[in-house]
């Protein structure tokens, strides 16, 4: 279920930051909710090195190993931040985040497989793409 209040999105993002967010709430929508909040309220945490540290620490706190096949995925994370930022720029700067999130989740980005329109599965789920940015090999990102 999507958050219907901005303070709920803020709570989700802050719980992820302080590593108390239950793993069951770290869903596809939860990822985008946190991304939108971070981009608006804590953009310094969206720099590639910072977001990597943040998510890896959260994963470790929730007993999710960061390996070649699980946990943090750098290419998907950076692509998702770019997608969320692009989507947010299509709304007024003061638009409620829950409305932006609802719109984002109703778009093609709401499908958790959206990156497969831009990367071949083998490329996207390679250890290289998990650890570093790998350019799309099917189509350029539109954002």
Q: What is the pLDDT of residue 121?
A: 98
Q: What is the pLDDT of residue 4?
A: 86
Q: What is the pLDDT of residue 2?
A: 87
Q: Any idea where the domains of the chain sit in the sequence?
A: 6-131
CA distances 42 to 11, 34, 37, 136, Å, are 14, 10, 7, 27
pTM of the model: 0.96
User: Of 138, 41, 129, 39, nearest to 88 (Cα)?
Assistant: 39
User: Of 139, 137, 141, 140, nearest to 122 (Cα)?
Assistant: 137
- Give the integer Cα–Cα distance in Å for 139 and 76: 15
Q: What is the pLDDT of residue 1?
A: 80
Tell me which of 4 and 28 has the higher pLDDT: 28
């Amino acid at each position: 279920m999507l958050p219907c209040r901005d303070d709920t999105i803020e709570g989700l993002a802050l719980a992820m930051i302080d590593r108390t967010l239950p793993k069951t709430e770290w869903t596809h929508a939860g990822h985008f909710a946190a991304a939108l909040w971070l981009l608006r309220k804590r953009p310094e945490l969206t720099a590639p090195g910072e977001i990597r540290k943040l998510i890896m620490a959260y994963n470790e706190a929730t007993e999710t190993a960061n390996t070649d096949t699980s946990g943090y995925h750098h290419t998907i994370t950076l692509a998702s931040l770019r997608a969320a930022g692009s989507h947010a720029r299509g709304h007024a700067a003061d638009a409620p985040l829950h409305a932006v999130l609802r719109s984002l989740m109703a778009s093609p980005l709401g499908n958790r497989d959206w990156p497969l329109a831009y990367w071949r599965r083998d490329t996207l789920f390679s250890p290289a793409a998990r650890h570093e940015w790998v350019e799309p090999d099917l189509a350029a990102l539109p954002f």
